[in-house]
Structure 1
Amino acid sequence: MSQSQSIVLPRVSVEPPPPPVPIRATREPVRVALIGVGLVSRDHHEPGLRLDPRARLAAIADADAALLERRRVEWSDGEPIKTFTVERLPELFADPEIDAVVIATPNHTHKDLAIAAAQAGKHVMCEKPLGLDAHQARAMTAAAEAAGVVNMTAFTYRFAPSMRYLRHLLRNGDLGEPRHFRSQRFLDLPETSWGWRQYKATAGAGDLFDMTIHRLDFAMDLLGPLARICGAVARFAPRDRDASGNPCAPSEVDDWSALIGEFRRGAVGVWEGTTLAKGYHVGGYGHEWAEVNGSEASAVYRMHEPNTLLLGRHGGDLEPIAVPNAFLKPSGSPRDPAQGKPATVFRYDLMWEFVTAIVEGRPAVPSFRAGLNAQIVADAVLVSHQRGSWVEVEPVSLA
């Protein structure tokens, strides 16, 4: 895909954050607050925290007072849990008995919450996307690094066992020279309202920021930074009714996204995501297929079967192989890979990494910088769609 030297492509980049301040280790137990106690905290963050003997749930906060009280009762385990309404969040950030926060709130609140937490000296993990655009993500990254706190983007799928094994095969050269990356993320969701997720002011974008951004992150983790991108988004479902049939303002964001990218190291990639793929329910997990074709072999990760990798070589077929035990979980994680639903329980290791980085006084992986780089590319997709052209991207260093 060579380009003429006479063509000047639009460019999406942000000023890199200044060098980070060194991180200091925090004593055990690490006292964590969950800000936003909806489904993602219920299904992923709280169970992961409960497994870790080095940490405990010290506080919770939410805009819904009834949900907040219900979670306090559900999650109490002998230790008192402080509760904070949204209006009292400054008290949470000032509380010396809280070491770290997890932000699982609507997208438009991420920037201010993360900056306030960092400036108060709290370690912070934030759901994706970090902000409504890369400039917000850059401000969050700069604030966290200037404060010398652990910062982490909740890119859950990096922790899937088959993704961890695929990364190992690439690093080890077992696939040969990487040539192609391919991602499909198809969901069969109802066409009713998404609430705040369907408005630009509160979500930024739809499928692109909610689902495809994960795939941008792990593609760059596997194959290195992207150089340029072209893409498109579309909206098919009006979402002008809620689940009860009551009218609401129609959706403003995409429910389909697709893009083509060129990696700086020479490989190419394609991504497609949709929430409207009828018949792709797959037990509620949806269809996920992420493939790397190398000069020697091809390998495929599938989220609904995360303990199995598909592997094939020239002249043969893709065959399922069990992920070796060493890659089923991070070293030291207390999680038992034989317990629970495989497509759910690997997500608990996200919290394990966050707490480990805090205890060891080191950067977490993936950091806010990884979230910033994914946001730079996602922003470029919107620019590409608007202009109908390729867009150059300039990621920031992860170091």
Structure 2
Amino acid sequence: MRWVFVGASTIAAQYMIGAVRSQAGHDVSWIVSGSEARVGEWAKSHEIPDATTDLAKALADNDASAVYISSTNEKHHAQAMAAIEAGKHVLCEKPLAMSLRDAIEMTGAARNAGVVFATNHHLRCSGSHRKIRELIAQGRIGQVLSLRIFHAVHLPQHLQGWRINDASAGGGVIPDITVHDADVARFLLGEDPVDVVAQMATSGMGDGVEDSAMSAWMMPSGAMVMSHESFTHPFAGSGLEVHGSEGSIFARGVMTQEPLGEIEIVTAEGREPVLYSSHPLYEQGVADFVDAVAGQGRPAADGIDGIKSLAVAHAVREAAQSGTRVTIDYGGF
């Protein structure tokens, strides 16, 4: 399968080109970017044969059947809709869109066109998160009572830009990281948050968007989730804890793009280190997407998963802005 990459992004360069090329018979044929100077140099650096600023030109290539979108957030909807209309399968970065309505439209259009549409939620592709989900499902910690996700990092200088300065492009820690943590909670616990309370802050790192957020979510089962995201914490570390009636799972360093971190389960029998697969996250995500295109299973995270993580993130921001508890609107899903 030949791929069109839309967005000459850091994530595309560092992870996704390699993930696509790791699949037998797959390669990237096109790179599309708004900057003519950048797109040509980027294509040369990554040995991509065709480069253009014209998305329609790349989508007209009948030999390319998949599109990966990693442009800034405000562009996702129009680019995905164009790709779907061209009959391409689409793997889109999170958040799917700026609004829930647009995300729902993208997912519905793909369904009507009969193409695979997926959200690139990489954390659920990790061996660590899949192992934690397995432990919970096996009842190793009994009934889940709470989940704590701490995902406060220091955003590197080369990634700052629009993420901390441009609300119109979808900047802010909530669309960048909270949306990931919403997917993690849904993936691990197998249920959707009902409502949220939240606060957010701006430290001065950027301009016009939040760079830290804390929120608490109530799950239908009665379990509570506490989530902390930030761009401003250089030494906080990241991870998650799942606490149940019969035990707890402690996972440190597992909220990254690499297959890293340590997991420990604690029960009445004592403490036990947990081993897990160290496969590359993005390769797993692309492999699951490729299988779905072949009619063998589903993507790691589909369009509905993307809709729901976006809905939680929107509710967190609304709750922080209003100072009130917000019921999450999933748009009928």
Q: Considering the TM-score relative to the shorter chain, is it more than 0.5?
A: yes
For 2:294, the equivalent position in structure 1 comes to 359
Distance change in 2, residues 1:307/1:379 (3 Å):
closer
Matched, 1:74 2:45: yes
Shift of 1:106: 0.5
Shift of 1:55: 1.7
The residue type equivalent to 1:257 in the other structure is: A
For 1:347, the equivalent position in structure 2 comes to 282
Conservation of the 8 A alpha-carbon contact between 2:68 and 2:91: yes
126, 130, 140: which one aligns with 1:164:
130
Number of aligned positions between the proteins: 327
Conservation of the 8 A alpha-carbon contact between 1:229 and 1:260: yes
Shift of 1:140: 1.4
Distance change in 2, residues 1:392/1:355 (3 Å):
same
For 1:83, the equivalent position in structure 2 comes to 51
For 1:312, the equivalent position in structure 2 comes to 266
Conservation of the 8 A alpha-carbon contact between 1:55 and 1:355: no
Shift of 1:314: 3.5
For 1:228, the equivalent position in structure 2 comes to 195
The residue type equivalent to 1:201 in the other structure is: S
Gaps of 5+ in 1: 1-29, 240-250, 281-286, 330-336, 338-344
Shift of 1:386: 2.4
For 2:304, the equivalent position in structure 1 comes to 369
146, 159, 168: which one aligns with 1:180:
146
369, 372, 379: which one aligns with 2:314:
379
The 4+ residue runs of structure 1 with deviation greater than 4 A are 190-193
For 1:268, the equivalent position in structure 2 comes to 224
Conservation of the 8 A alpha-carbon contact between 1:161 and 1:306: no
The residue type equivalent to 1:351 in the other structure is: V
Shift of 1:183: 0.5
Matched, 1:297 2:247: yes
Conservation of the 8 A alpha-carbon contact between 1:307 and 1:322: no
Conservation of the 8 A alpha-carbon contact between 2:36 and 2:52: no
For 1:252, the equivalent position in structure 2 comes to 208
Gaps of 5+ in 2: none
Q: What secondary structure, in the 3-state scheme, does the structure 1 residue paired with 2:294 have?
A: helix
Between the aligned residues of both structures, percent identity stands at 25
Higher RCO, Cα 8 Å, sep 6+: 1
Offset from partner CA, 1:239-294 (integer Å, 9 cap, x none): 3xxxxxxxxxxx111000110011112211100111111434xxxxxx21111111
For 1:288, the equivalent position in structure 2 comes to 238
Q: State the distance in 2 between where 1:381 and 1:359 align.
A: 36
TM-score by length of 2: 0.91
Q: State the distance in 2 between where 1:191 and 1:127 align.
A: 21
**Matching of residues 183-222 of structure 1 within 5 Å:** 183-189=149-155, 194-197=160-163, 198-203=165-170, 205-222=171-188
Q: State the distance in 1 between where 2:155 and 2:261 align.
A: 25
275, 280, 283: which one aligns with 1:322:
275
For 1:24, the equivalent position in structure 2 comes to none
